[in-house]
Amino acid sequence: PWIMLGGSYPGARAAFTRDKYPETIYAAYASSAPVHAQVNISAYYDQVYRGMIAHGYGNCVKDIQAALKYIDHQLAHNKTAAAIKQLFFGEGAETNSNGAFTAALAGIYGFFQSYGTGGGEGSINDFCGYLETDPANNQTAPNGLATTYGNKFVAQRWAAWPIFTE
């Protein structure tokens, strides 16, 4: 007999495999496994939103929303979709679907899932610190950068975040 373990989706796989093959899988340990399957998991980002707001990242949330509004507008038109993808990921990025491109943008939340708002390089704290710093005076923008410079500026700043461009 085998013992299967996993966290997150591998945890669900462990539990499902144990259920289906009890004669082979003696035990399963499912840590933080999803308990409800669904096709559209956009509700995941509701948790990220609430966590960021609760930890004082309201202006960052507003700027992320402003950048995404600009990005969505660019993706809605064939003439500008390629350019916005290239802005973030360089030449060749235009071959990605809009869905694959926006899924890659969600990479900023990977660190949040593991560590919350804290953490070091690449964390939400690090990203928001970069995104919210006005390059004109190197000070934190009191109401976010979009209110001063506009949605396009914030999207361009996001695309230039050194951690993200790696």
Which of these, 45, 81, 63, lies nearest to 134 by C-alpha position?
A: 63
Could you please report the per-residue DSSP string of 1-45?
Answer: -EEEEEESHHHHHHHHHHHH-TTTEEEEEEES---S--S--TTHH
Per-residue pLDDT reduced to its tens digit, 18-43 = 999 999 999 999 998 887 777 887 78
Query: Of 80 and 32, which is predicted with more confidence?
Result: 80
Is the per-residue pLDDT at 114 higher than 80?
Answer: no
- Express as a percent the part of the chain with pLDDT over 90: 66
Amino acid 71: pLDDT: 98
Residue 166 confidence (pLDDT) above 80: no
Give residue-wise pLDDT tens across range 45-70: 888 889 899 999 999 999 999 999 99
| CA nearest neighbour of 75 among 90, 60, 96, 91 | 96
Give me the pLDDT at residue 42, please.
Answer: 78
- Whether 115 shows a pLDDT value over 80: the answer reads no
Residue 164 has what pLDDT? 74
Query: What does the pLDDT look like over 133-159, one tens digit per residue?
Result: 999 999 998 889 999 999 999 999 999
DSSP 107: G
The label of the residue with tokens 């340990």 reads 29
Per-residue pLDDT at 36: 77
pTM, full prediction: 0.79
Nearest to 141 by CA among 87, 66, 70, 73: 66
